[in-house]
Amino acid sequence: MTEDPIARFQEEFARAEIKETIDVNAVALATCTPDGKPSVRYVLLKGADQDGFVFYTNAESRKGRELAANPHAALAFFWPTIYVQARVEGTITKVSAEESDEYFATRARDSQLGAWASQQSRLLSSREALDHAFEDYRVRFGDGPIPRPPYWGGYCLKPTRIEFWYGKPNRLHDRHVFLREGSGWREERLYP
Ligand SMILES: Cc1cc2nc3c(=O)[nH]c(=O)nc-3n(C[C@H](O)[C@H](O)[C@H](O)COP(=O)(O)O)c2cc1C
């Protein structure tokens, strides 16, 4: 039986977590318009298990709009301290409202206010406009609970391809690719 690449990802992540000192969960997320124009940016991974790879963002952002029109996406992690790259490709669905609510509730209050204040990826007239929006929401919510903005939530990438790249001397790196086949995985090696 081929090994489970999700379990391998969790092991590599745990190994990286020990050594990386900042944002071990930062991951480049590539999305694409329906006519094939790509864009890429970093997000923070908030979970990885058999259901998929989860991150949170604003659905009205550029990435949110691209994902609404084309659910295919790709992730790339690089952990320099262990010299490992992990690449994940698949399709994205939205995390349930309940799960997004739960996660939003764990965020720092100022981050919650930030989610309300930021019309992510839309044109901003000045820094002051953003700071004013933040202050307006701070006053509006007072000391009460801050609900999750309806446009903000989790996305889950269900992988069909996962690659682990292990840096080796002489550029003779090891590449292990796992391709989804039915309910299991097929493993291949690639030239570096
Ligand atoms: C290390 C790092 C982590 C980030 N994490 C997130 C995140 O989890 N969610 C998010 O919406 N933006 C995150 N950002 C900001 C995004 O990179 C990006 O600027 C923003 O989401 C707007 O992207 P878009 O216009 O392509 O939608 C992060 C940026 C960096 C550098």
- pLDDT tens column, 90-131: 999 999 999 999 999 999 999 999 999 999 999 999 999 999
Minimum-distance ligand 1 atom for the alpha carbon of 46: 8
Name the residue ranges covered by the structural domains of the chain: 5-109+150-190
CA of 59 to the centre of ligand 1 (A): 12
Q: Indicate if the pLDDT at residue 1 is higher than 70.
A: no
* Res 94: pLDDT: 98
CA of 124 to the centre of ligand 1 (A): 16
Q: Indicate if the pLDDT at residue 176 is higher than 70.
A: yes
- How deeply is 141 buried, as exposed, middle or buried, from its count of CB atoms within 10 A (0-12, 13-18, 19+)? middle
169 secondary structure, DSSP code: G
**pTM for the whole thing?**
0.97
Quote the tokens at residue 85. Answer: 């790259």
Q: Which CATH architecture has domain 5-109+150-190?
A: Roll (2.30)
Contact between 95 and 54 (Cβ < 8 Å):
yes
pLDDT in tens, 11-60: 999 999 999 999 999 999 999 999 999 999 999 999 999 999 999 999 99
Ligand 1 pocket by Cβ (under 6 Å)? 23, 26, 39, 41-44, 55-58, 61-63, 120-121
d(CA 192, CA 189): 9
Out of 171, 175, 180, 189, pick the active-site residue.
Answer: 171
Quote the tokens at residue 179. Answer: 């391709």
Q: Indicate if the pLDDT at residue 2 is higher than 90.
A: no
* Res 52: pLDDT: 98
d(CA 41, CA 74): 11
* Res 162: pLDDT: 98
Closest C-alpha residue for ligand 1 atom 7:
43
Crossing angle of helices 127-141/109-117, nearest 10°? 120
**Arithmetic mean of pLDDT over the chain:** 97
b/e map 148-181, b = 16+ CB within 10 Å: bbeebbbbbbebebbbbbeeeeeeebeebbbbbe
